[in-house]
Amino acid sequence: MPRRPHPPAHGRGKIILTAACPRTGTARTSTGTPFEPRGLTHRPDGAIRVVPLPPVLVRMLHRHLDEHGSTPEGRLFRGVRGGMLSESVYRRAWHAARQAALGPDLAATALACRPYDLRHAALSLWLNASGEPAEVAARAGNSARVLHDTYLHCIDSHQDLVSQRIEDALDADPAADCRHSA
pLDDT at 155 over 70: yes
CA-CA distance, 16 to 136, in Å (whole number)?
Answer: 16
Residue type, 141: G
pLDDT at 5 over 60: no
Identify the pLDDT of residue 3: 43
Indicate the domain borders of the chain: 1-77, 86-112, 116-174
The average pLDDT across 92-106 equals 93
Model pTM score: 0.64
